[in-house]
């Protein structure tokens, strides 16, 4: 793999890793929940504990998004899109 032309601050990398981890956690929580069709048809309901767990995971993900997108490092790059692609590669490496 080619080396990135960017040097990413560790806290920015960690914010993206936190986002990706929350994304996995949200999927795991949702996969355990009843289907939305069943909920709409009143054949199942989402438990309070499940909803709280999902809300907490979504809040953690939003916190990570805000830390990423508000990071001062973005002001130092010319092409934020390219830098974002490289950041994702670096975080997943």
- Cβ-based burial of 57 (10 A; exposed 0-12, middle 13-18, buried ≥19): buried
Spatial separation of the C-alpha atoms in residues 28 and 43, rounded to whole Å: 21
Q: What pLDDT digit, counting tens, does each position of 39-91 carry? A: 898 888 888 999 999 999 999 999 999 999 999 999 999 999 999 999 999 99
Q: Is the pLDDT of residue 2 over 60?
A: no
Q: What pLDDT digit, counting tens, does each position of 54-67 carry? A: 999 999 999 999 99
Strand segments (E) across 1-93: none
Which residue has 């990398």 as its token pair? 13
* Amino acid 69: pLDDT: 95
| Structural domain boundaries in the chain | 10-92
Mean pLDDT of 5-34: 95
């Amino acid at each position: 793999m080619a080396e990135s032309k960017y040097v990413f601050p560790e806290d920015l990398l960690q914010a993206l890793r936190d986002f990706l981890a929350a994304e996995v956690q949200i999927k795991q929580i949702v996969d355990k929940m009843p289907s939305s069709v069943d909920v709409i048809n009143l054949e199942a309901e989402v438990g309070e504990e499940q909803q709280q767990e999902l809300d907490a995971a979504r809040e953690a993900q939003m916190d990570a998004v805000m830390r990423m997108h508000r990071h001062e490092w973005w002001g130092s790059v010319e092409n934020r899109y390219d830098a974002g692609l490289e950041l994702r590669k670096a975080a997943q490496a």
